[in-house]
Amino acid sequence: GNSVTQMEGPVTLSEEAFLTINCTYTATGYPSLFWYVQYPGEGLQLLLKATKADDKGSNKGFEATYRKETTSFHLEKGSVQVSDSAVYFCALPYSSASKIIFGSGTRLSIRP
Amino acid sequence: DGGITQSPKYLFRKEGQNVTLSCEQNLNHDAMYWYRQDPGQGLRLIYYSQIVNDFQKGDIAEGYSVSREKKESFPLTVTSAQKNPTAFYLCASSIASPNTGELFFGEGSRLTVL
């Protein structure tokens, strides 16, 4: 069945640094791929998504490209801010598409 | 505003007691989900429901029960059979297929067993 493997954290960066959080997947076919973000004490919210191969999802300065050759969906941001401190989850649907599975999450902390 | 409301936000329970977590949505979504989140771990699916009066077990359903009598509501009961219930519980909803849509989450309920 489908699965997702995510870079372990925590990740600590200085403000304005470049961010990459790795995510690779195993899937039947080409399901949509998602990045969710969880700010402290809150539920998750969708950050961005890509629905087909070579699509690039983007939001709030974050980007991720759906790469079927490397089965990856890495999250990137060119210049992080303190307000980006959160836990980031890569996700994709189960094979049946009736539910979504999440990676283990990567905690990101940004130093001023 | 449309969204998902979970209550209570914090809950304390003595061992051996059942407790019910509320989840209500006004997004007119067909599908609803319960996830459990433990420190340093990802989300694990407890139960999900794609339609009223129907629900399926997720990966860690033992010690939990749910009902889906109304489209808007999907309460989760943590029973005394759940060996380690202290966790952060998240409810979510989506249009019927999550493959084309997104999950909308509530703010979570933190359960602590004393």
pLDDT confidence of residue B32: 94
Flag whether pLDDT at B98 surpasses 70: no
- For residue B98, cis peptide bond before it (omega within 30 degrees of 0): no
For the beta carbon of residue B15, count every other beta carbon within 10 angstroms. 8
Flag whether pLDDT at B101 surpasses 70: no
Chain A residues at the B interface, defined by Cβ less than 8 Å, are 6, 31-32, 34, 36, 41-46, 49, 51, 89, 93, 97-105
Residue numbers in A near B31 (CB within 8 A): 98
Flag whether pLDDT at B70 surpasses 80: yes
Give the pLDDT band of residue A72 (cuts 50, 70, 90). Answer: very high
Q: What is the DSSP letter of B15?
A: T
Q: What percent of chain B has pLDDT over 90?
A: 77
Which of B75-86 are b and which e, b meaning 16 or more Cβ less than 10 Å from the residue's Cβ? Answer: bbebeeebeebe
Tell me the pLDDT tens digit for each residue of A79-109. 999 999 999 999 998 876 678 889 999 999 9
Bridging pattern class, strands A106-111 and A56-59: unpaired
Q: Please state, rounded to an integer, the average pLDDT across all residues of chain B.
A: 92
Distance in Å, alpha carbon of A27 to nearest chain B alpha carbon: 13
pLDDT confidence of residue B114: 86
Contact B99, B85 (CB under 8 A): no
Distance in Å, alpha carbon of B6 to nearest chain A alpha carbon: 10
For the beta carbon of residue B49, count every other beta carbon within 10 angstroms. 20
Tell me the pLDDT tens digit for each residue of A28-64. 888 899 999 999 888 999 999 999 999 999 999 999 9
